[in-house]
Structure 1
């Protein structure tokens, strides 16, 4: 009967939901990151040149926005958020943009963007917000240290990320909403650094966002790691001239998420083809044996390989096939 295949697909979608939920550890009674108020940030003119002077002005504006959000959090009575924001406002931190509303939006630079010849833009996965931000930033720091001089890494939290305990984790809706912001950011980065080699690094649910933004992006590489799928059947469907890479560690639970895409009247569930499968057609790299959050861990196999991709040293990347 025609209904049986559909029922089987729905059953697999429900299994995917259960697998996803099983790895989440809900925090009872915790406030939602979006619940802490913050002021609307000041409008910023586009960054047209990454000169030291222009960057210093932009970083100063970002610091002002963070301090305004810190005052709002303190007035709200959230001491933990206020302390987090004070740390972000340290003179050594470099934010191209900051918005403390709705869990936070940031674009933080690690390294010297003015002199950088190689730039990596990190797009995070689920449960990334101001309350968990330092975990994300530590990955950017590790990658920039691996890359060394003449490099910069941008930790781009330009969108609301889904929670592993939310139905949003099963649909591309948040990715579709955030992709235009990613496109605008990368276009601005290209205008500011036209000669730099830029790579887009996409972890977990972030790979769905990258896929939605991929068509025509001014990047050399799109690197998918720990990806549940992108919503595209093949690399060709991404409509990009970038080299598309994919890697998944042997200890990553995301391998157990069924690779389906089920169109329902109210939503699309799942993300389709496994990016590390031959059917998808990405170039594979060895992602080691770590867990879902270990891809940019200092000293790890995937960190070394991802750094080599960002540097354009393809011959030195160990094959993940």
Structure 2
């Protein structure tokens, strides 16, 4: 008898969120990041080599593309986007790919990819675009410092992330579109760095993307943090040989998101069981007490524990089921 009230509450909660998001979309999307024009990028093809000379050539080509996008944004009158792109075009930064259109797609390397024995790939969640890229870049840089010089971090913004105030964030539509791109990139990365240990770190909605791609990912670990669910019932149903980890800070608002799936005929909303639950079967690590955007904060518990996972060591700072 207890199942029906819980299902009813879940349905009401998710439907309320869907309605609220549908109302918010026309307002928030009217002048969103995708409205800023950018030139088509050069076709550099797949990542075919991790030799230093080949990487330097690719970095230089993407730097030229970023500068072209900066000029276009400035001509459009968007000084904020132009400033972001000007910072990204710094000669010290390394981009494996860049496309400034439709909110932006980038793949940036922190560290020496040509010689890294361990590689972490960050997959971001909702509301990540070129205009908000600084947060993802800062987190990647912090993780790279925590890992040390023998590791590299790749910030993969390879898809159009859903907005938090949108109906897309309640469904797996964006993840379905993103998963093949993630699988393709990680496959290329694995092919050019076959001896490196690769770990995916998937934040928030990014965990839905990683779950959709999991069976095709040649990685050693998949870390789900701040996750609303994955769309899978258990870690085993992800059909991956990688170790699946889950962590959530005690101060993360996403803990209040109801877990389950509701079919509405035209779509399904919700992402199923909580990855932190014992029944899901992930290895749980302590993610501290910060908020939803604090996992990669320098000196934080989750940053240290995720660095340990990337390094192939068990997270050491406690375990909890928040």
- TM-score normalized by structure 1? 0.93
Residue 13 (structure 2) aligns with: 12
Work out whether residues 40 and 99 of structure 1, in 8 Å CA contact, stay in contact via their aligned partners in 2: yes
- TM-score normalized by structure 2? 0.93
Secondary structure of the residue aligned to 1:214 is helix
Work out whether residues 286 and 315 of structure 2, in 8 Å CA contact, stay in contact via their aligned partners in 1: no
Q: Are the structure 2 counterparts of residues 28 and 275 from structure 1 closer, same or farther at C-alpha, using a change threshold of 3 Å?
A: closer
Residue 244 (structure 2) aligns with: 244
Q: Are the structure 2 counterparts of residues 53 and 92 from structure 1 closer, same or farther at C-alpha, using a change threshold of 3 Å?
A: same
- Cα offset for 1:229? 0.3
Work out whether residues 13 and 260 of structure 1, in 8 Å CA contact, stay in contact via their aligned partners in 2: no
Q: Distance in 1 between matches of 2:80 and 2:42?
A: 24
Structure 1 runs of 4+ aligned residues shifted over 4 Å read 3-9, 15-21, 26-30
Q: Distance in 2 between matches of 1:302 and 1:114?
A: 27
Secondary structure of the residue aligned to 1:120 is strand
Instruction: Point out where structure 2 has 5 or more consecutive residues left out of the alignment.
Output: none
Residue 162 (structure 1) aligns with: 162
Instruction: State the number of aligned residues.
Output: 318
- Cα offset for 1:67? 1.0
Residue 193 (structure 1) aligns with: 193
1:52 matched to 2:52: yes
1:93 matched to 2:93: yes
- Cα offset for 1:61? 1.1
Work out whether residues 37 and 76 of structure 2, in 8 Å CA contact, stay in contact via their aligned partners in 1: yes
Residue 278 (structure 1) aligns with: 278
Secondary structure of the residue aligned to 1:227 is coil
Q: Are the structure 2 counterparts of residues 245 and 58 from structure 1 closer, same or farther at C-alpha, using a change threshold of 3 Å?
A: same
Q: Distance in 2 between matches of 1:4 and 1:55?
A: 56
Q: Distance in 2 between matches of 1:111 and 1:101?
A: 26
Secondary structure of the residue aligned to 2:271 is coil
- Cα offset for 1:198? 0.3
- Cα offset for 1:179? 0.5
Deviations 1:158-202 (A, max 9, x none): 001111111111111001111100000000101111100000000
- Cα offset for 1:8? 4.7
Secondary structure of the residue aligned to 1:134 is helix
1:80 matched to 2:70: no
- Cα offset for 1:11? 1.1
Secondary structure of the residue aligned to 1:222 is strand
Q: Are the structure 2 counterparts of residues 256 and 239 from structure 1 closer, same or farther at C-alpha, using a change threshold of 3 Å?
A: same
- Cα offset for 1:109? 0.3
Work out whether residues 121 and 199 of structure 1, in 8 Å CA contact, stay in contact via their aligned partners in 2: yes
Q: Distance in 1 between matches of 2:315 and 2:88?
A: 38
Q: Distance in 1 between matches of 2:88 and 2:150?
A: 24
Deviations 1:276-319 (A, max 9, x none): 00111100000000000011110000000000000001264632
